[in-house]
Structure 1
Amino acid sequence: PQLTVGRGSGINDERMKIKRQVVIDGLAKNMPKQGDAMDILCKVGGYDHAGLAGVIIGAARRRVPTMVDGVNATAAALLAYGLYPQCRNYMLCSHLSSDISHKKMLELMQLSPIVDAGMRLGEGTGASLAIVVLQAAMDVYNHLSR
């Protein structure tokens, strides 16, 4: 937890200790099997992670890309990747969060963020910005290919 649990949107030191202790206690009590995405999901994941992982896998099976935005969505994407590795080919990572775990999760899936601005705002701001960047890139591509 000292290497993966970050401040999120900017919690103080006291809240950080509590946050890390919750992770330590949860791992000790549930003992998820490293490398087993389903076991991890069942033992320490939440319904939000399961739902997002399902959406990512379902979209990938239909060859539809998904925009992964933020640390929690990336955790769900990592679980989806563990369950169905091919879904990685249909994931777009909106941005690189300043949270310490985000970069590590993206590296495990070999994904690159569209925007790297040290964001930690939440509320879909990374996806909103990434979509504008992608639209601009498509506009330039379409203009140059005429």
Structure 2
Amino acid sequence: MTSHELYDRTLRMIQPVSPVWIEKAYQRLDSLTKPRRSLGYLEELAARLVAVLQQAQPKIEGKRVFVFAGDHRVVAEGVSAYPSSVTTLMVKNFIGGGAAINVLARRAGAEVEVIDIGMAEDPGKLKGLLRLNVKRGADNIARGAAMTVEEAVRAVIVGIERANQAADSHVTLMATGEMGIGNTTPATALLSVLLDLPASDLVGPGTGLDAGGVARKRQIVEQAMAVNRTHCTDPLSALAALGGLEIAGICGLCLGAAARARPVVVDGFISSAGALVALRLCPAVKDYLFFAHMSAEPGHRKFFEKECLRPIVSLDMRLGEGTGAAIAMQIMEDALAIYNEMATFEQAGIAPG
């Protein structure tokens, strides 16, 4: 099967969840020993998970956070507080188990899978690193397209194939993560185009730019959008023009998980850019996406407002890596525990209110 055939088949496989399962889930939730809907958003999370998994007593068998690593030549324009070499150093840290995502994933009981999808440097032989590099760094979007459409499709396919492998390995809950110095710049440009919002509404400090750095970043994002305007005719071409390899991988993971009827936890600002491409390519993906948190990046709030979506938590995080998703995984499991383990009014011998 060619890359394009797998891509097309994946899109065709994605179906909206059945409202019948949502109704069944709420019937059980309303029968539990508590005032109706008193657990708020936890109940919505539980109902959505039941509908995605289509099980009367749904269980999360395995959890995995996918950290897609890619670089961006737009860093040369002065849009990041750190050099691209930090991407390689952090990937080594992930493999060594010493990063924030490793700690939080361990707390959540989740595996961490690290994928070189677009790193500029060859990281060498690192045991545990998946070497699936499509391109040695995205090109400078301030000067032209980040990649060709063919390269974007190949990167999306990497994400789809990782989702398929995980589903075949009985991973129930997947989560997006990323590492790529400078990637808030392409994410901002991509969100600006797909949300039809001015870049000035979305640009933020990323990993720690000062006011002057943010102003420079806004200028570069606007320049990138102007340079690539004619290429952004559809979601896939916009991804190729303004995105990054790791953003494309995240898009593919969202598509692949949805096609296999698996819930996927979307991490922060960068991950939301990849998820939004997936949503634009196939709106039914929305039923399978659980947005972990609202990042401290100002553009993330705009994203949630424009798309009428709700994050699970809001903790002013802006690290990426999948850290917010790992935290959200635990809350989602709490929601399922409530659904599966609470007594009903009938079991407790209590008359419902």
TM-score, normalized by the shorter chain, greater than 0.5: yes
Q: Post-superposition shift, 1:106? A: 2.6
CA distance, structure 2, for counterparts of residue 45 and residue 26 of structure 1: 11
Does structure 2 retain, via aligned residues, the 8 Å contact 1:93–1:114?
yes
Tell me if structure 2 keeps the 8 A contact 1:68–1:93.
yes
* Greater displacement, 90-99 / 131-140: 131-140
Q: Is the 8 A contact 2:313 2:328 kept in 1?
A: yes
Matched AA of 1:28: A
Cα distance change of structure 1 residues 32 and 74 upon mapping to structure 2, 3 Å threshold: farther
Aligned match for 1:31, one of 224, 229, 236:
229
Match of 2:242 among 23, 39, 44: 44
Q: Which residue of 2 is the match for residue 3 of structure 1?
A: 201
Is residue 269–residue 295 contact of structure 2 (8 Å, CA) maintained in 1? Answer: yes
Name the CA distance, whole Å, in 2 between partners of 1:19 and 1:95.
24
RMSD: 1.9
Q: Structure 1 pair 125/32, CA: closer, same or farther in 2 (3 Å)?
A: farther
- Identical aligned residues as a percent: 37
More displaced 10-residue stretch of structure 1: 113-122 or 52-61: 113-122
Distance 1:33 1:104 in 2: 24
Separation (CA, whole Å) in 2 of partners of 1:81 and 1:114: 19
User: Which residue of structure 2 aligns with residue 92 of structure 1?
Assistant: 290
Q: 2:315 aligns with which of 110, 117, 127?
A: 117
Mapped contact 2:231–2:241 kept (Cα < 8 A): no
Query: Aligned equivalents of 1:79 and 1:123: distance in 2?
Result: 19
The SS at the match of 2:312 is strand
Q: Distance in 2 between matches of 1:110 and 1:35?
A: 24
Q: Is the aligned partner of 1:60 residue 2:258? A: yes
Contact kept in structure 1, 2:232 and 2:241, CA below 8 Å: no
Cα distance in 2 for partners of 1:35, 1:117 equals 35
Structure with bigger gyration radius: 2
Give me the whole-angstrom Cα distance separating, in 2, the residues matched to 1:51 and 1:60.
14
Rounded to whole Å, the distance in 2 between the matches of 1:16 and 1:57 is 32
Hey, what's the Cα distance between the residues in 2 that align with 1:50 and 1:56? 10
Asked if 1:131 is matched to 2:323, the reply is: no
Alignment-mate amino acid for residue 267 of structure 2:
D
Letter in 1 for 2:235: A
Instruction: Verify the 8 A CA contact 2:204 2:299 in the aligned structure 1.
Output: yes
* Structure 1: tracts of 5 or more residues without a match: none
Distance 1:30 1:133 in 2: 40
Amino acid aligned to 2:324: G
Give the superposition deviation at 1:46. 1.3
Q: Secondary structure at the match of 1:23?
A: helix
Across the two proteins, how many residue pairs are aligned to each other?
A: 146
SS at match of 2:262: coil
**Greater CA drift, 77-86 or 46-55:** 46-55
Greater fraction helix:
1
Q: CA deviation at 1:32?
A: 5.2
Letter in 1 for 2:342: L
1:34: how far off? 6.5
Does the C-alpha gap of structure 1 residues 115 and 22 become closer, same or farther in structure 2, counting only changes over 3 Å? same
Gaps of 5+ in 2: 1-198, 345-353
User: Secondary structure of the equivalent of 2:257?
Assistant: helix
CA 1:32–1:72: 2 relative to 1, 3 Å: farther
Contact residue 92 and residue 111 of structure 1 kept, 8 A: no
Shift of 1:55: 1.3
1:22 alignment counterpart: 220
